[in-house]
Amino acid sequence: MSDRLTNLGLATLLTLGVITGFGAFSIGTPKGRWVVVLHGLIGLAVVAVSPWKTVIARRGLARPRSGRWISLGLSSLAFVTLASGVTLITGLLEKLGPLTIMQIHVGAGLLTLVTTLVHLWQRPVRPKKTDLSRRAALRATGTVGLAGIFYLGAEGLLRATGLPGKDRRFTGSHEIGSKAPPPTSWLNDSTPAVDSLSHAVQLPSRRLTAVEIDDFGDEISAVLDCTGGWHSKNTWTGARIGRLLGDQDGESIVVRSVTGYWRRFPLVEADRLWLATRVDGTLLRPGNGSPVRLVAPSRRGFWWVKWVDRVEVDDKPPWWQPPLPLA
């Protein structure tokens, strides 16, 4: 394979890897599973191309040039990204030191992107028309084919060894065998002190105490699937938001936490959102969002706002928010 093609191919794979990685965090239903499969294939395609890149890099490092530290840093970061990705799939390890494997994977992946941009600025590769030749297409197909074989091989290995990863969900998350989901923050939110008895949730035209919400007794069984890599199926009890809102004019529902954390949903989803006070029949514990938290089946964990104190309806479109929470 020519150096140009290898380098261009890797830059393309990295870009697609970041896009599908982001996509993998957004999906919550099996329809989106192809995004996760694609993300894995892209990682394995990088592995398939790496022998060629190693030859290029060896040759490059033999010549004393500026930017070699960037090159070395880049290969280390790419290695950490791939290794942590594989570790995530096996389900063998959840944390390394203070960081979760997912944090390492996302962190190293984003740093790989930044380092690649610096690297490309120092060693530019300019795409040419001939890069879109038949030969290039054949090589791309070969790489994808090899990645596919790696994928099937890895899947077979997971089954043969009986690693937890063989039962992973379509998102890649592993089931945790505990009663209630483990208290988890998106970034650095911490459990606030909320008085369960006096706490109330302000809705567009009414104010309901936690006890009143609990009295509705609407039940829903749903999977909480954290982008950190675990999922837990539980029965939640509380009140369906649709019936609390009644007829409302607007585009979206904003659900806010006492901590400032918030998420926006389409108003048409009101009947598929619940304010929950219990999990598996037991009142929520502080870490799980006591006394009132949102349950958003088919959406990933970061949508399930904890410690809810406000539900608003407004005219802004549902996408009018950061695609992932910022705090």
Binding track, positions 182-221, relative to ligand MTE; x by CB under 6 A: xxxxx--x--------------------------------
Tell me the HSE value of 154 on the side-chain side, using a 13 A CA sphere: 19
Secondary structure (3-state) at 101: helix
Kindly state the smallest distance separating residue 257's Cβ from ligand MTE, in Å: 4
Among 76, 202, 209, 259, binds ligand MTE (CB under 6 A): 259
Hey, which bits of the chain come out as E strands? 95-96, 99-100, 174-175, 200-202, 207-209, 218-226, 230-240, 252-257, 262-266, 274-279, 282-283, 293-295, 308-314
**Strand pairing partners for 295?**
274
Q: Residue with CB nearest ligand MTE?
A: 301
Angle at 196 between CA 195 and CA 201, to 5 degrees: 95
Please provide the DSSP assignment of 288-324 as one string: GTTT-EEE-TTS-GGGS-SSEEEEEEESS-TT-S-SS
Q: Is 28 in the site for Mo ion (CB under 5 A)?
A: no
- Which ranges in 204-305 belong to alpha helices (H)? 210-216, 241-245
Alpha carbon of residue 237 to chain centroid: 26
Kindly state the smallest distance separating residue 169's Cβ from ligand MTE, in Å: 14
Nearer to Mo ion, 150 or 186 (CB): 186
Stretch that binds ligand MTE, among 6-14, 42-50, 91-99, 304-312 (CB under 6 A): 304-312
Which of Mo ion, ligand MTE, none has residue 281 at its interface (CB below 5 to 8 Å by kind)? Answer: none
Which of ligand MTE, Mo ion, none has residue 296 at its interface (CB below 5 to 8 Å by kind)? Answer: none
Binding track, positions 51-70, relative to ligand MTE; x by CB under 6 A: --------------------
Kindly state the smallest distance separating residue 261's Cβ from ligand MTE, in Å: 3
Which of ligand MTE, Mo ion, none has residue 288 at its interface (CB below 5 to 8 Å by kind)? Answer: ligand MTE
CB 275 within 8 A of CB 244: yes
Nearer to ligand MTE, 25 or 34 (CB): 25
Stretch that binds ligand MTE, among 36-44, 120-128, 139-147, 298-306 (CB under 6 A): 298-306
Which tokens is 58 given? Answer: 């060896």
CA gap 275, 166 in Å, rounded: 33
CB 224 within 8 A of CB 276: no
Residues 91-130 that bind ligand MTE (CB under 6 A): none
Residues 130-189 that bind ligand MTE (CB under 6 A): 181-186, 189
Residues in contact with ligand MTE by the rule CB under 6 A? 181-186, 189, 224, 226, 257, 259, 261, 287-289, 301-302, 304-307
